[in-house]
Amino acid sequence: MKVLVADQFEQSGLDGLKAAGCEVVYDPALRDDALMMALGETRAEALVVRSTRVTATMMDAGSLALIVRAGAGYNTIDVTAASARGIYVANCPGRNAIAVAELAFGLILALDRRIPDNVAELRAGRWNKKEFSKATGLYGRTLGILGFGSIAQELARRAQAFGLNIVIWSRRFDENPGVDLGTYGLERTGRDSRVTIAPSPQAVAEQADILSVHLALGAETQGFVSADVLGRLRHGAFFINTARAEVVDYAALAQAVRERGIRVGLDVFPDEPATPTAEFSGPLLQEPGVYGTHHIGASTEQAQEAIAAETVRIVRSFTETGRVPNVVNLARRTPATHMLVVRHRDRPGVLAHVFELLRGDDINVQETENIIFEDAEAAVARINLDRAPSQALLASIRSGNENILSLQLVRL
């Protein structure tokens, strides 16, 4: 398999792809038209990207069967277009969780102790111990967390070790607020902290001294952290976003900073530059008490090595088994209404006979699985159909091939 890697990628990952028998083309500078041309010229079957945008036009230019996002989010890939073309899209969830959680906690500590301002004053030759001795401290305060995926879980574990109380809202707890948090490595009531589940994001904000956002980006989370949520934060609270800029109403956040002294740590911004280096200025960054980093949450050597290893695992699985781990664009449930179960002798032409008769009656096969018994003498095929075959058609299938042992029609 030929693999085109169109973003910065670890050498261990490139070596791993080659060890898996892949022909690797590595050009981390490819973007836009240049990437489209490279896909056409290389006829690569797999594409590995990080922040590079992948469009429908690019997919049409080559022979792609698999796109791997070497990271967690995949909003830069036109997943709808990939699905329409039968192209798998996979990601590497959780592999950068510790790195992002570490940065989020670093921003919390930086806000509390005003570390960037300390450094700036010292570099300017000014000693101001009286001013910078003003800090509340974290122990005993309350950290609110919106979303509870792998990054939020890592953050919560670190927060509990610091003696922070934790209040969480996540859709996963909507129907089970009494969930056993021990499965996430947390104690509801620890020696120095307690963990509670809140019924809404607003309820989290009302209790939080620090609010940290860990929501995946989707249609339902655009602008999710709204003025209604931000308006519940107490005066002088901290706000952290290391997730996606689009999940937060940044205009409302700016208003909260100016009017109520909210202090902010951000790793993500609206309209970030598409290139690694560029001129950039955001209105929020001019506000005192707002600290920012350059969307580097996942950018530790440990995280990048883990993501590279996961990318290799995905590609290797695809080349060796045809299965794609972490695929994000397969239907959770097909529109199939019936399953035809065919028990048959494992002989050439049996399934071709079944499919031909189904096609003749304009019945679409949406999924199929053929399970072979020991010694390969017999098999069972499970065939998902968009409608039920007639009794006459079933009789034709059964009688038309001597190697069909039985048929069963199951309504889904």
Instruction: Name the residues annotated as catalytic.
Output: 244, 272, 295
Give strand pairing partners of 291.
265
Q: What are the phi and psi torsion angles at 170 (to 5°)?
A: -155, 145
The rounded distance, in Å, linking the Cα atoms of 256 and 97 is 28
Tell me how many degrees the CA angle 57-62-65 measures, rounded to the nearest 5: 100
Beta-bridged to residue 238, according to DSSP, are 210, 263
Are 168 and 198 in contact by the 8 Å Cβ rule? The answer is yes
Alpha-carbon span 171 to 207, nearest angstrom = 18
Q: For 296, which DSSP code?
A: -
Minimal CA–CA distance to 70: which of 244, 326, 368, 402? 326
Over 372-383, what HEC string results?
A: ECHHHCEEEEEE
| Spatial CA neighbour of 247 closest among 146, 328, 321 | 146
Q: What whole-number distance in Å separates Cα of residue 184 and Cα of residue 101?
A: 15
Helix (H), strand (E) at residue 404: strand 404-411
Per this entry, what is the length of the chain? 412
Q: Structure tokens of 82?
A: 């990939």
Q: What interhelical angle do 350-360 and 391-399 show, nearest 10?
A: 150
Q: How many CA atoms lie within 13 Å of 125's alpha carbon, on the beta-carbon side?
A: 0
327 contacts 88 by C-beta, under 8 angstroms: yes
Residue in this structure with the two tokens 């707890």, named with its chain if needed: 173
Contact 239, 233 (CB under 8 A): yes
Show the tokens assigned to 393: 């058609």
| Residue 369: strand pairing partners | 382
